[in-house]
Amino acid sequence: MSANCDTCAYNVYDDEADMYFCEAYLDEDELCRLQTNPGRPCPYYRSDDDYALVRKQN
């Protein structure tokens, strides 16, 4: 797990808002927990690296 949103698959750019947003499905409690503890890794982080699984199999 990582806290780097730049490499997360859920980090999506919105053209209208000109910003990146997290599209992970979070309820209100989970969102509050993530915002109040910025040092903790995100449990919903998913690597945007499509080849990670292939490298792991080798």
Domain boundaries of the chain, sorted by first residue: 5-57
Q: What angle do CA 4, 26, 51 make, to 5 degrees?
A: 45
pLDDT at 15: 94
Q: CA-based Rg of the chain, rounded to a whole angstrom? A: 13
Give the pLDDT of residue 3: 56
- pLDDT of 26 over the 60 cut: yes
Listed in sequence order, the DSSP H helices in the chain are 28-36, 52-57
- What is the dihedral sign for C-alpha 14, 17, 21, 25? negative
pLDDT at 41 over 90: no
Under 8 Å between Cβ of 47 and 7: yes
pLDDT digits (tens, 9 = 90+) for 10-25: 899 999 999 998 898 8
